[in-house]
Chains A and B, each alone.
Chain A
Amino acid sequence: MTFATRRLRKIVGALPPGITLVRAEDFKEWQLDIRVLDDNPIYKGKTYRLSFKFNINYPIDAPIVTFVEAPGITIPMHPHIYSNGIICLDLLSSGNGWSPVQSVESVCMSIQSMLTGNTRNERPEGDADFVRSGNTNPRNIRFVYDDPTV
């Protein structure tokens, strides 16, 4: 068993409120559903699905975390979430904010609070061009973390 799989096994147990495990059949990709727990009108009553993809060096390497669509589940509106599900968040980026003490739970909670605190019902600037470019691997994207307002 590798480092990555041993570490991932430790999640089994209680997840924080508003976070449920949907799929964790192997240690390559997991899916979790998250709900925002307050009354933010943009997200109230909705559930969103996150996909975590781990490589063998997890948690030294960051997981690839994106929102995914499913029947009845959409990609949340947010100025840092592209309509193809890619999330611009510094802690998901190796070399910027990722740290191996982060976990699936802590990442879910950070994304929950990223939604909770948002008041802008909009996509990032250049969303259409970005989605058309077909880049689906967040690791290959160099985000500029220049927006302290969101």
Chain B
Amino acid sequence: MKVKIKSWIAVASWKWDVPEDEVCGICRVQFDGTCPNCRFPGDDCALLVGKCGHSFHMHCLLDWINTESSRGLCPMCRQKFEYVEQ
């Protein structure tokens, strides 16, 4: 029997490269989900990985860092938050 493929549809899934059960410490939503203000996960609602080892949804962290009271510190360890260039 000969099979001729006329067309095909590729399907892929993706996830962030973080442990599966990890949630953003600020909004408590899984990293694979979005921050509470976004609808679609992915590059538009990315993660920020800190040099201190703590990660957050970028939007969640920016909400915090942009307040005066954050003093630019990581919410987890209170070191200066600097992100790792990906």
Which residues of A come within 8 Å of B, CB atoms? 1-3, 6-7, 10, 57, 59-61, 94-96, 98-101, 103
Contacts and interface: CB of A to CB of B under 8 A. Distances in A.
Nearest to A11: B28
A94 B29 CA distance: 23
A97 B86 CA distance: 30
A95 B26 contact: no
Contacts of B64: 60, 100
B80 interface: no
A108 B62 CA distance: 27
B69 A101 contact: no
A99 B27 contact: no
Interface in B31-86: 36-37, 60, 63-64, 67-69, 71, 73, 75-76, 78
A7 B63 CA distance: 14
A95 B36 contact: no
Given A3-B36, A60-B63, A100-B75, A10 B28 contact: yes
